[in-house]
């Protein structure tokens, strides 16, 4: 399929700490965040428009999404806690008994052929949805984009996925 790099669309994969996160519920990804903040300086002599706009803060993203692939490893990756059983054949999960912080690098691969990299993100999540026979339970997640530890690094960036990775089905 030919990629059109004039648009960004579709979630191909979401990775947290280099591990693929489970399926994301269709239509649940929302960039969220805040608009840029500024203060307008007004002058009595100029009633039609501000004479100066002072920038206060850049716009930010804070994506929200629902993870619906609820195997025990995915639950533990998004909610913390403890896995029950042994690797490859877990039989359960226990909720954390103390305050946890799930922080690390994130990558979002888009179907359109680009990748967003977030070097330092914190996920806030909870078990949600409804328990019915017509829908699945989910983990409702909010990704907070934090300042990277490297002083001059961008909080997030978007780049083309290298062709060799696309060929491998990254």
Q: What is the pLDDT of residue 169?
A: 54
Residue 2 has pLDDT above 70, yes or no: no
Mean pLDDT to the nearest integer, 37-56: 96
pTM, rounded to two decimals = 0.87
**pLDDT tens digits along 3-42:** 678 999 999 999 999 999 999 999 999 999 999 999 999 9
Q: What is the chain's percent helix, strand, coil content, to nearest 5?
A: 10, 45, 45
- Of 103-107, 112-116, 137-141, 147-151, give the lowest mean pLDDT range: 147-151
Q: When comparing pLDDT for 151 and 146, which is higher?
A: 146
The residues spanned by each domain of the chain are 11-167
- Percent pLDDT > 90 in the chain is 89
- Contacts of 77-81 spanning 24+ positions with Cβ under 8 A: 77/16, 77/17, 77/19, 77/21, 77/102, 78/16, 78/21, 78/102, 78/123, 78/125, 78/139, 78/141, 79/125, 79/126, 79/127, 79/139
pLDDT at 18: 95
């Amino acid at each position: 399929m030919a990629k059109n790099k004039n648009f960004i669309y579709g979630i191909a994969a979401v990775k947290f700490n280099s591990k693929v996160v489970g399926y994301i519920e269709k239509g649940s990804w929302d960039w969220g965040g805040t608009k840029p903040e500024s203060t307008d300086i007004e002058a009595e002599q100029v009633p039609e428009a501000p004479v100066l706009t002072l920038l206060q803060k850049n716009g930010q993203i804070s994506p929200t999404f629902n993870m619906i692939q609820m195997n025990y490893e995915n639950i533990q990756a998004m909610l913390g806690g403890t896995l029950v059983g042994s690797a490859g054949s877990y039989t359960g999960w226990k909720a954390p008994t103390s305050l946890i912080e799930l922080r690390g690098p994130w990558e979002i691969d888009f179907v359109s052929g680009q990748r967003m990299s977030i070097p330092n993100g914190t996920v806030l999540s909870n078990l949600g949805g409804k328990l019915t026979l017509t829908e699945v339970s989910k983990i409702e997640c909010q990704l907070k984009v934090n300042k990277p530890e490297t002083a001059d690094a961008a909080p997030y960036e978007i780049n083309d996925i290298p062709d060799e990775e696309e060929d491998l089905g990254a």
